[in-house]
Amino acid sequence: MCFIVTNMLYSLQSVAGQDKYLPSDEIWVCDLEEVFQMAGEVPPSMSGTCGCSLNGHMYIFGGYDKIGQSNQIFCVNLTDGKYTWRSIKHKIGSAPSHRDKLSCWIHKGSYLVLFFFQLEDVVWGWNNEVHVFDPVHASWSEPQTHGRTPTPRATQASATLGCRGYICGGRVMGTRMSDIHCLDLESWTWSEIIPVSTTPVGRSWHTLTAVSDSSLFLFGGLNVDCKPMNDGWLFDVQTKKWREHPFKTKPRLWHTACLGKDSDVIVFGGSCDYIFNILTGHCNDALIFQMQPYSLYRICENYIAKNVKNCEVLRHQLLLLPPKLVTAVQRRMSLYRRNSIS
Ligand SMILES: *[C@@H]1O[C@H](CO)[C@@H](O)[C@H](O)[C@H]1NC(C)=O
């Protein structure tokens, strides 16, 4: 299994006041082409939740449903094959206020760190708070941070590298930014990283994915002129340099991204249109970004998957491979079929 995408980044499907959210009781497992029905304490259908995978469990927090923002945590064990949602009630501390369009980081394999953007019952506003949830003790706490806290914002992109949480850009007051801030999760100190290279244009609704010990991959988003972006960039946190990824693809915003096999970044879902054209823009294709040279094995797998249809010799020889390899190649073939990737 290469990666798991759920509809936890649920998508809006219709206009003005009649927003429709996808149900929370389905989990789509890519590479196996299977959908599992979920049961238990199923969360309401929402958009703008934040989610992460921690010790074989998927956690989601916050989000926006038909009624408003949420501050609840839900959890699914992804390893027992039951896909049963549990609502997590905290025992210690107080939960953050209701919010959506936020980010989370994972720290020390046990903490869920959350921050940013809230919309409360009466007054709404963006914030730059950091809250920590510890699933082992079911406790919420708010650490005292040091350094210069980034300006309050929404729909920023975030990623974790070691014991540091990074955020990039997002909607900041009347504009969209591409500034990078780092929070040391041991000392709780914020610092801004000033790049020493060309930087991507400001944006919101983009993604940031950790692709090595020191680099982050940014993709897509919505720029200051409300144009959906199709550019990808690598940022090295040590050299502080941005480098544009050579592979340009379709524009995408409000999508999900994660690191898959062989260091590929897999982008799924989102919209290819301006954020308010919610009737037209939805995407369900997967975009794959290669981050490093592939192994010989992967090159062969790709070659066969791509060419088997038009090559009789390959077609006949495929079944002579050991069963494990046949299965792997067939999965790769189905990925090519579904996404017409090249
Ligand atoms: C999740 O499922 C695995 C596999 O069945 C099990 O070993 C583990 O204890 C479960 N975790 C929790 C917290 O129930």
Phi, psi values for residue 334, rounded to 5°: -70, -30
Secondary element (H or E) of residue 133: strand 130-134
Q: Determine the length of the chain.
A: 342
- What is the distance between the alpha carbons of residues 188 and 126, in angstroms, rounded to a whole number? 21
Residue 20 is predicted with a pLDDT of: 59
Cβ–ligand 1 distance for 80 under 6 Å, the answer yes
113-149 pLDDT tens trace = 776 555 544 456 788 889 999 999 999 999 999 999 9
Residue 331 is predicted with a pLDDT of: 83
- Which residue has a Cα nearest atom 3 of ligand 1? 80
Q: What is the pTM of this model?
A: 0.86
Residue 94 is predicted with a pLDDT of: 92
Mean pLDDT of 200-229: 95
Superfamily (CATH H level) for 144-292: Kelch-type beta propeller (2.120.10.80)
pLDDT tier at 4, thresholds 50, 70, 90: very low
**240: pLDDT strictly greater than 70:** yes
**53: pLDDT strictly greater than 90:** no
Cβ–ligand 1 distance for 84 under 6 Å, the answer no
Centroid of ligand 1 to alpha carbon of 73 (angstroms): 18
Domain extents for the chain?
A: 144-292, 296-341
pLDDT tier at 215, thresholds 50, 70, 90: very high
- Which residue has a Cα nearest atom 7 of ligand 1? 80
Report which of residues 112 and 131 the model is more confident about: 131
- What is the distance between the alpha carbons of residues 92 and 31, in angstroms, rounded to a whole number? 39
Helix axes 323-339, 296-307, angle to 10 degrees: 60
User: Which are the contacts of 85, defined by CB distance < 8 A and separation ≥ 6?
Assistant: 24, 25, 38, 39, 40, 41, 42, 43, 74, 75, 76
* pLDDT-wise least confident of 17-21, 135-139, 159-163, 314-318: 17-21
CA atoms in the 13 A half-sphere facing the CB of 164: 20
**105: pLDDT strictly greater than 60:** yes
AA letter at 280: T
278-319 pLDDT tens trace = 667 788 788 889 999 999 999 999 899 889 888 898 888 888
- Which residue has a Cα nearest atom 14 of ligand 1? 77
Report which of residues 8 and 55 the model is more confident about: 55
- Mutational pocket test of ligand 1: of 73, 78, 79, the residue with most ligand atoms within 8 Å of the beta carbon: 79
Residue 282 is predicted with a pLDDT of: 81
